[in-house]
Amino acid sequence: MQTHLDDAYARQLGDAFGREEVWHVLKASNDAKIYLGFKDFITPDSFKDAVKSERFLSHLKMARD
């Protein structure tokens, strides 16, 4: 898991912007997917339960073309 400063918090620390990041996908299968965080709020315990039952992907937001 990765987290980055949002712009407001970064300004409090003296930075103009939060951290920016770019990923370059060089090769992927035709059915590969990229997930962009959670669909909705979920508690850590609920997510742990979802991971154990292999339902965790249903809580993630998928990038669209």
The per-residue pLDDT string of the chain (65 residues; one tens digit each, 9 = 90 and over) reads 556 667 787 788 777 766 666 677 889 999 998 888 888 888 989 989 999 998 888 889 988 74
Q: What is the DSSP letter of 38?
A: E
**Whole-prediction pTM:** 0.51
Question: What's the pLDDT at 65?
Answer: 47
The per-residue pLDDT for 45 is 93
Q: How far is CA 5 from CA 14, 21, 24, 27, 31, in A?
A: 12, 11, 21, 29, 31
pLDDT score, position 10: 76
HSE-up of residue 10 (Cα within 13 Å, Cβ side): 11
Question: What count of other Cβ atoms lies within 10 Å of the Cβ of residue 59?
Answer: 17
- What is the rounded CA–CA span in Å between residue 40 and residue 28? 27
